[in-house]
Amino acid sequence: MSIKSLYKLSNPYHNLFGIGDILRSKTIYKYMPFETALLCLQNNTIRFSDPTEWKDPFEKYYYTADYSNVMPNPQFDTRLFACCLTQNRDCEAAWNMYTEDSDKNPCVQFKIYLGQFRRYVEKFVRDKGMNLYEGAVTYKLKDSEILHLYQRGNKNHQNFFTDFSLEKYLNLMLLKRHFYEYEGEVRYFIHGDKLCLDKKFMDITIPWSLCLYSVKLPPNCSDDLKAKLETALDVNYQLCIKEYKGYHPKKIPSIENSLYAPLNSITIE
């Protein structure tokens, strides 16, 4: 597996960098429970979280690792905040995943103008003296390959850990199991010396009225929930609430233990 180089996006993104191939789409999607969507609209924010909060242990496997054996001098901080979006406009798995209660807390989809999202998140981060990184998730490795990547005998070890750098570390943070390829996930990372990690999250100010293309709810959503969302959207948004016609609410099966089983902390060899 080759490592993609970081590219710096052109103006007006002064502190926004990409990992791998640049995203060419004009829009991007964020799925979330209704209550979270409502708070985002009411507060004009989007939340970035510490990756230790991610449910899948494979996703934070290399976030919690010990890099002392490969860390360059000068060292860089491996701590960061992250936000996950997707390029998939009709991901039924996401609709199910983020539906906490089909009646009271269903999933909501934001369709977002990518350029505007970049602009306002980058500005917030730049004003704080930090950098923003953007990259599409890589699904090429199997579970066992991700698990043993840190070992010197692994065929991909030198690609990720020889002349270790922030670039290579961020590529590790974009690894996800092949099982989840349908998600088409894109991750944004905030990184910098002034990053405050006293909390497990950071709420980024973003004017949704300038960034939203549309908002979707599942069919048969109650009039009460629609009214709450319409109030939060306000007339200034000039958006109509749409329904995702292809979605059929269903009971979410329990996640197999093998998918979310805890993993031991590792030291990079």
- Residue at 226 is within a domain: yes
> Which residue shows structure tokens 């290399």?
62
Give the pLDDT confidence score for residue 251 in this predicted structure.
Answer: 43
Confidence of residue 56 (pLDDT cuts 50, 70, 90): confident
Compute and round to an integer the Cα radius of gyration of the chain: 19
Q: Who has greater pLDDT, 69 or 263?
A: 69
Cβ–Cβ under 8 Å, residues 204 and 46: yes
- Residue at 203 is within a domain: yes
Q: Which of 65-74, 83-92, 205-214 has the highest average model confidence (pLDDT)?
A: 65-74
| Statement: residue 236 has pLDDT above 80 | no
User: What average pLDDT does range 208-214 have in this prediction?
Assistant: 91
Number of structural domains (the chain) is: 1
* Sequence-separated (6 or more) residues with CB below 8 Å from residue 107: 31, 32, 33, 34, 94, 95, 96, 97, 98, 99, 218
pLDDT per position as a tens digit, 165-179: 999 999 999 999 988
- Residue at 214 is within a domain: yes
> Which residue shows structure tokens 């599409």?
136
User: What average pLDDT does range 70-88 have in this prediction?
Assistant: 95
> Which residue shows structure tokens 């009271």?
104
- Residue at 4 is within a domain: no
Helix (H) or strand (E) holding 182: none
User: What average pLDDT does range 192-210 have in this prediction?
Assistant: 85
Q: Residue 20 sits in which domain range? A: 14-53+80-137+181-249
Q: Which residues pair with 131 in a beta bridge?
A: 191
Cβ–Cβ under 8 Å, residues 91 and 247: no
Give the pLDDT confidence score for residue 211 in this predicted structure.
Answer: 93
pLDDT per position as a tens digit, 113-133: 999 999 999 999 999 999 999
- Residue at 29 is within a domain: yes
Nearest residue to 61 via CA among 133, 158, 143: 143
Q: In the numeric block, which tokens belong to residue 144?
A: 């066992």
User: What average pLDDT does range 236-261 have in this prediction?
Assistant: 52
Helix (H) or strand (E) holding 248: none
Q: In the numeric block, which tokens belong to residue 174?
A: 């974009």
Cβ–Cβ under 8 Å, residues 48 and 188: yes
State whether residue 100 is helix, strand or coil. coil
- Residue at 204 is within a domain: yes
Confidence of residue 259 (pLDDT cuts 50, 70, 90): low
- Residue at 209 is within a domain: yes
DSSP labels, 25-81:
-SEEEEEEEHHHHHHHHHHTEEEEE-GGG-S-TTTTTTTSSB-TTT--SS------E
- Residue at 149 is within a domain: no
Helix (H) or strand (E) holding 259: helix 257-260
Confidence of residue 253 (pLDDT cuts 50, 70, 90): very low
pLDDT-above-90 percentage for the chain: 58
> Which residue shows structure tokens 């936000």?
83
pTM exceeds 0.75, yes or no:
yes
SS3 sequence of 195-234 = CCCCCCEEEEECCHHHHEEEEEECCCCCHHHHHHHHHHHC
Give the pLDDT confidence score for residue 256 in this predicted structure.
Answer: 45
Q: Which of 13-22, 193-202, 235-244 has the highest average model confidence (pLDDT)?
A: 13-22
Q: Phi first, then psi: what are they for 115, rounded to 5°?
A: -60, -40
| Statement: residue 76 has pLDDT above 90 | yes
